[in-house]
């Protein structure tokens, strides 16, 4: 019974994780939309979104909840990858998806650490890694990261095209009428941004020029300065906001299946702790 209670608490933490990711992307997309309409917004990334949240009324409390949510998301992503809760299997494709889930756990873990620093009053962005990335080994790493971004971007676009996310979600029919196109729009937009980031990384590695590390802000600015200008930028900004909403919908409707091994592991862990005392 206690192990079931622990699983329920874990599921709640996982849902908080999806909401945390959703809030970050809604801030990113919302600020970019304001910039697109000339209402004083700006292009920012995940870290910028966290700083923006910190500066809001009750920002400290909101950021504390966000950090807890991000930690929950890290734990859930790790369980998804290791325990294969979504049944991807051990094929090459399955292992690639599970590997991507593990990478997601790592990146969100780093974001949680940085959010904790902001919570403690440190909003500076470290640039210590740029010296290493200018080395030959650093160039190879940038190139590999670029290829990973290509795979992630195309996977998002494919997921949007096929609406494969629906197999893991139980959205009521009356809500799915608008939720389905919104989720697909959000996934495709995030995929486009990932592909632009891939182009930045690969071109940087090939030209041996990594003095300036580019990220989501640069991707959005590239869209704003493109031939279609503010319209393309606005559409992708709206898409990133939609991806945030999609994450919140995952928190509400996604099946979070914690398998028997994990439940047993929780029980064994609890018994071990009890015996140690």
Q: pLDDT by residue (tens digit) across 4-51? A: 555 677 788 889 999 999 999 999 888 888 888 777 667 777 877 888
Question: To 10 degrees, what angle do helices 173-207 and 136-162 make?
Answer: 160
Kindly tell me if the per-residue pLDDT of 164 is higher than 50.
yes
pLDDT in tens, 47-84: 778 888 888 887 788 889 999 999 989 988 998 888 88
- pLDDT at position 124 is 64
Kindly tell me if the per-residue pLDDT of 266 is higher than 60.
no
DSSP 9-52: HHHHHHHHHHHHHHHHHHHHHHHHHHHHTTSS-----HHHHHHH
Higher pLDDT, 180 or 58: 180
- Mean of the per-residue pLDDT values of the chain: 79
Higher pLDDT, 47 or 125: 47
pLDDT > 90 fraction of the chain, expressed in percent and rounded: 22
- pLDDT at position 131 is 56
CB atoms within 10 A of CB 50: 28
18-22, 105-109, 234-238, range with greatest mean pLDDT: 18-22
Kindly tell me if the per-residue pLDDT of 97 is higher than 70.
yes
Kindly tell me if the per-residue pLDDT of 272 is higher than 90.
no
Question: To 10 degrees, what angle do helices 2-36 and 59-83 make?
Answer: 120
41-45, 173-177, 214-218, range with greatest mean pLDDT: 173-177
Kindly tell me if the per-residue pLDDT of 231 is higher than 60.
yes
**54, 118 Cβ separation under 8 angstroms:** yes
Q: What is the Cα 4 distance to its own chain's centre?
A: 28
pTM (2 decimals)? 0.80
Lowest-confidence segment of 12-26, 100-114, 166-180, 213-227 by average pLDDT: 213-227
CA–CA dist 110, 176 (Å, integer): 33
Query: What's the Cα-to-Cα distance from 261 to each of 9, 56, 87, 266, 267, rounded to whole Å?
Result: 17, 42, 14, 9, 10
- pLDDT at position 222 is 73
* 243 band by pLDDT with thresholds 50, 70 and 90: very high
């Amino acid at each position: 019974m206690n192990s079931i209670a622990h699983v329920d608490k874990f599921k709640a933490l996982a849902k908080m994780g999806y909401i945390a990711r959703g809030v970050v992307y809604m801030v990113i997309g919302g600020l970019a939309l304001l910039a697109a309409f000339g209402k004083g917004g700006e292009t920012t990334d995940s870290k910028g979104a966290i700083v923006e949240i910190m500066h809001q009324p009750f920002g400290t409390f909101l950021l504390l909840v966000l950090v807890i949510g991000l930690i929950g998301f890290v734990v859930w992503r790790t369980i998804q990858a290791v325990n294969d809760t979504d049944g991807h299997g051990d094929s090459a494709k399955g292992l690639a998806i599970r590997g991507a889930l593990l990478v997601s756990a790592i990146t969100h873990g780093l974001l949680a650490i940085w959010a904790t620093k902001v919570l403690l009053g440190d909003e500076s962005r470290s640039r210590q890694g740029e010296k290493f990335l200018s080395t030959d080994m650093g160039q190879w790493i940038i190139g590999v990261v670029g290829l990973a971004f290509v795979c992630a971007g195309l996977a998002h676009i494919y997921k949007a095209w096929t609406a494969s996310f629906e197999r893991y979600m139980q959205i009521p029919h009356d809500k799915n009428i608008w939720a389905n196109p919104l989720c697909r729009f959000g996934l495709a937009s995030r995929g486009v941004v990932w592909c632009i980031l891939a182009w930045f990384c690969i071109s940087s590695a090939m030209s041996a020029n990594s003095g300036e590390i580019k990220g989501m802000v640069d991707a959005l600015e590239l869209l704003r300065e493109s031939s279609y200008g503010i319209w393309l930028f606005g559409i992708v900004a709206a898409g990133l906001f939609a991806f945030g909403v999609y994450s919140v919908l995952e928190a509400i409707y996604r099946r979070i299946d914690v398998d028997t091994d994990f439940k047993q592991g929780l029980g064994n862990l609890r018994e071990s702790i009890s015996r140690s005392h």
